[in-house]
Amino acid sequence: MGGFLLLPEDRVRVIVPAAKPILTVRDLCVDARTPQGRRRVLDDISFDLNAGETLCIAGESGSGKSVTSLSIMGLLPKASLQVASGSIRLGDKDLVALSNRAMRSVRGGDVAMVFQEPMTSLNPVMSIGAQLTEAIREHQGSEGGMADAIARRMLDAVHITDPARRLSQYPHELSGGMRQRVMIAMALSCRPKVLIADEPTTALDVTVQAQILKLMRELKQEFGASIILITHDMGVVAEMADRVAIMQNGRIVEQGEALSIFEKPSQTYTQELLAAVPRLGAHAGTEGPPRVSAETDVAQPVSASPILHVRNLSVTYGSPARWLFKGKPPLAAVDDVSFTLRPGETLGLVGESGSGKSTTGKAVLGLIPFTGNVVIDGRDIAGLPARQMQPVRRSAQMIFQDPYASLDPRMAVGAAIAEPLIIHGLGGRSERDDRVAELLRRVGLQPDAATRYPHEFSGGQRQRVCIARALALQPKLIVADESVAALDVSVRARVLDLMLELQETMGLAYLFISHDMAVVERMSHNVAVMRGGRIVEMGTRRAVFENPQDDYTKALMAAVPIPDPRARHFA
């Protein structure tokens, strides 16, 4: 029963009591077990999730976002993390107090989760249908043909074509976007009250990301689920959130309505997060990347003589039939690609997954077989044997997307940085140690970091180590393949500034491969857009971003999430 409030204008308004939150987290604290004793990783976390609402939890890596979600799901690794105090109430149930058996009926039935990396979340030896029906049988009691029918309907609901055929396929046979759709279908198959999505679009291309976000909004309305969306992408937050909670160092430092957070953030940390977001169009009217170096008054000029000259580059995958094996039909992953790159210049290579970007980058460095001509620093590498490629490696290096996978976990980072110097026989022990210390300082790390191992660094620090390793041989060309895709927005901004500073002071040329259009706009002098293994548009940064000619380029730019809740692509 509503109450009555007499307004100054003598109007009467009925006040409806607020609906009870579907999920309530109060004073949640989580401790980690360490050799030095207990360490608090979540400290007094409190928030509500209302019915039909999307709550975005944002912050940098290590802020506690994922630990919060795992606490709700009851999936904290007991050997290292445990809830110290607080409550998590789903209706009348306190999830913290439930036994493992009781929690199993809640997990997947009442609360479901979509994890960041679907390839590691799906069982590679089970078909898609077997994994979908397993959850349906467990929580709905449906068997046989009924479970199969529900699985087909769920794949259809997430807009996967030919769902009956997909049920018999395995995860490796699907694209990244389709695997993420399968994860969403699995999570929603039992119509949970709460759906937790932990960085569900981080590894996806901008167009696929837009499709997944739109899909989640549609399914929220269709299935009536409330969503907790965990992300470090403030563009995604602006696109999806009704309310926002900002986390830092295990605490919620600010929360409120999405529009209020974006337009009037009260905390310095929130302001810094928003300021670090790359915005498409922020560099309109300028010809090149912004100046960031304080070491030189004038940026290194772009040389007229190319450091990289690529002509008619093609890469074909496939295998001929041998004995009892049928082989695979040839597939043109890269088809007749040509471009040049000069010292001090960045060519941004953009496109969706499968467009041929990374294959082009690997072929340019001779890491995979190719046809055509690739000339690095005056030397044609086509057909060169591995031994003769070694001198070329001094001129051209690569930075990969995943810094943790790029570093040997058993090797101290100082040894990893020094390894190219040893391979090429450069300097004695003391000279190499001095060079490693200099490189670490150059990328913003202390020289004593040389004795530490990769797992002791954050993601951004590991990427700095990989940059230092790439610089060890003083190359003229660096191929950066999605080198900041996995980094938080503020860490990404610092790494991009570092790369620009190194370019300005050392005259480096970058082949900068990315699917993030705003990042490419910030970094590039020239841009090439790839689709289906071919370059469909190429020109100066200003020409491509301010006056795109190809419909595909326009679609890529239109799909970029804008960090402004007023400018959502869909309501």
Tens digits of per-residue pLDDT, 388-441? 888 898 999 999 877 878 899 999 999 999 999 999 999 899 999 999 999 999
**Strands laid side by side in the 226-231 sheet:** 111-114, 194-198, 226-231, 54-58, 243-248, 251-257
| pLDDT for the residue numbered 421 | 93
Is 99's pLDDT higher than 80?
Answer: yes
Q: Per-residue confidence at 27, pLDDT binned at 50, 70, 90?
A: very high
H helix runs in 244-377, sequence order: 258-263, 268-275, 357-364
| pLDDT for the residue numbered 571 | 54
Is residue 87 in some structural domain? yes
Greater confidence (379 vs 135) lies with 379
Is 141's pLDDT higher than 70?
Answer: no
Same domain, 133 and 191: yes
| pLDDT for the residue numbered 17 | 42
Is 564's pLDDT higher than 50?
Answer: yes
- The listed range with the strongest mean pLDDT (97-111, 288-302, 322-336, 405-419) is 405-419
| pLDDT for the residue numbered 540 | 94
Last residue of a domain, one of 450, 474, 498: 474
Same domain, 63 and 120: yes
| pLDDT for the residue numbered 476 | 94
| pLDDT for the residue numbered 7 | 39
| pLDDT for the residue numbered 543 | 93
How far apart are the C-alpha atoms of 361 and 485, rounded to whole Å?
Answer: 16
Is 295's pLDDT higher than 70?
Answer: no
- DSSP category for residue 298: S
Give percent above pLDDT 90 in the chain.
Answer: 44
Last residue of a domain, one of 275, 295, 330: 275
Same domain, 106 and 119: yes
**CA distance readout (Å), 212 to 96, 121, 171, 534:** 31, 17, 18, 26
Q: Residue 416 burial by CB count (10 A; 0-12/13-18/19+): exposed, middle or buried?
A: buried
Greater confidence (232 vs 480) lies with 480
Is 221's pLDDT higher than 80?
Answer: yes
Same domain, 547 and 417: no
What integer is the mean pLDDT of 132-141?
79
User: Average pLDDT, whole number, for the chain?
Assistant: 85
Same domain, 341 and 196: no
Is residue 214 in some structural domain? yes
- The listed range with the strongest mean pLDDT (6-15, 122-131, 483-492) is 122-131
Note whether 249 and 77 are within 8 A (CB): no
Tens digits of per-residue pLDDT, 321-339? 666 666 667 778 899 999 9
Is 526's pLDDT higher than 90?
Answer: yes
What integer is the mean pLDDT of 59-64?
83
| pLDDT for the residue numbered 14 | 40
How far apart are the C-alpha atoms of 240 and 217, rounded to whole Å?
Answer: 8
Last residue of a domain, one of 252, 275, 298: 275
Same domain, 89 and 228: yes
Residue with tokens 């689920």: 225
Greater confidence (138 vs 453) lies with 453
Q: How far is CA 185 from the centre of its chain?
A: 21
Q: At what angle do helices 459-471 and 489-506 cross, to 10 degrees?
A: 20
What integer is the mean pLDDT of 464-481?
93
Q: Which of 554, 550, 522 is nearest to 535 (CA)?
A: 550
What integer is the mean pLDDT of 371-375?
95
Is 367's pLDDT higher than 70?
Answer: yes
**CA distance readout (Å), 347 to 30, 350, 398, 453, 489:** 46, 10, 14, 33, 22
How far apart are the C-alpha atoms of 277 and 54, rounded to whole Å?
Answer: 21
Is residue 201 in some structural domain? yes
Is 199's pLDDT higher than 80?
Answer: yes
Q: Per-residue confidence at 520, pLDDT binned at 50, 70, 90?
A: very high
Same domain, 64 and 93: yes
Same domain, 336 and 258: no
| pLDDT for the residue numbered 328 | 67
Three-class DSSP category at 71: helix
Greater confidence (190 vs 147) lies with 147
Q: Give every CB contact of residue 252 below 8 A, 6+ residues apart in sequence.
A: 45, 46, 47, 245, 246
Greater confidence (216 vs 257) lies with 257
Give percent above pLDDT 70 in the chain.
Answer: 91
Is residue 437 in some structural domain? yes
Is 36's pLDDT higher than 60?
Answer: yes
Please state which of the ranges 58-67, 78-87, 165-174, 175-184 shows the lowest mean pLDDT: 175-184
Which CATH number is 76's domain given? 3.40.50.300
H helix runs in 224-369, sequence order: 234-240, 258-263, 268-275, 357-364
Q: Which domain holds residue 137?
A: 23-275
| pLDDT for the residue numbered 324 | 62
Please state which of the ranges 22-26, 138-142, 503-507 shows the lowest mean pLDDT: 138-142
- DSSP category for residue 316: E
| pLDDT for the residue numbered 48 | 95
Is residue 107 in some structural domain? yes
Is 319's pLDDT higher than 50?
Answer: yes
Same domain, 376 and 414: no
Q: Give every CB contact of residue 201 below 8 A, 6+ residues apart in sequence.
A: 180, 208, 209, 212, 213, 231, 233, 236
| pLDDT for the residue numbered 309 | 96
Same domain, 383 and 430: no
Is 61's pLDDT higher than 80?
Answer: no
Q: Per-residue confidence at 296, pLDDT binned at 50, 70, 90?
A: low
Q: Which of 396, 400, 422 is nearest to 411 (CA)?
A: 422
Is residue 131 in some structural domain? yes
Is residue 499 in some structural domain? no
Same domain, 89 and 139: yes
| pLDDT for the residue numbered 28 | 96
Q: How many CA atoms lie within 13 A of 191 on its CB side?
A: 7
Same domain, 336 and 247: no
Is 18's pLDDT higher than 60?
Answer: no
Is residue 32 in some structural domain? yes
The total number of structural domains that make up the chain: 3
Note whether 443 and 475 are within 8 A (CB): no
How far apart are the C-alpha atoms of 120 and 130, rounded to whole Å?
Answer: 16
Is 149's pLDDT higher than 80?
Answer: yes
